[in-house]
Amino acid sequence: MADERDYWTQKRPDGSWESKREGASRPSKIAATQAEAWSASKDLAKKSGGEAYLKGRNGQIRERNTYGKDPYPPKG
């Protein structure tokens, strides 16, 4: 199930970078650099109270930031 508060930063086939809301068909922002797209994803995730994910060039998650409410103490 997609969490529409989360935003992903990933490389596009044309070489640019995108910030995209989870479950969306179109990107929220297209940027020339990874840093610019990552900044946009973090800003959007802060506003929505979700998480921002950064996918590297190899497709693996490089970084992840949570901006919603984290339960404390954590379960488990």
- pTM, entire model: 0.84
Q: What is the pLDDT of residue 76?
A: 63
Is position 74 within any domain?
no
Q: Which domain holds residue 47?
A: 7-58
Is position 31 within any domain?
yes
Looking at the 3D structure of the chain, how many domains does it have?
1
φ, ψ of residue 37 in degrees (nearest 5)? -70, -40
- Is the model's pLDDT at 1 over the cut of 70? no
Q: What is the pLDDT of residue 65?
A: 93
Is position 20 within any domain?
yes
Report H helices in 21-69.
Answer: 34-48
The string of pLDDT tens digits covering residues 2-49 is 688 999 999 999 999 999 999 999 999 999 999 999 999 999 999 999
Q: What is the pLDDT of residue 72?
A: 73
Note the Cα 70 to chain centre separation in Å: 17
If phi > 0 it is left, if psi is from -120 to 50 it is alpha, else beta; for residue 23 that is: left
Is position 1 within any domain?
no
38 burial via Cβ count (<10 Å: 0-12, 13-18, 19+): buried
Is position 33 within any domain?
yes
Is position 12 within any domain?
yes
Q: What is the pLDDT of residue 2?
A: 66
Is position 53 within any domain?
yes
Is position 68 within any domain?
no
Residue 69: strand, helix, or coil: coil
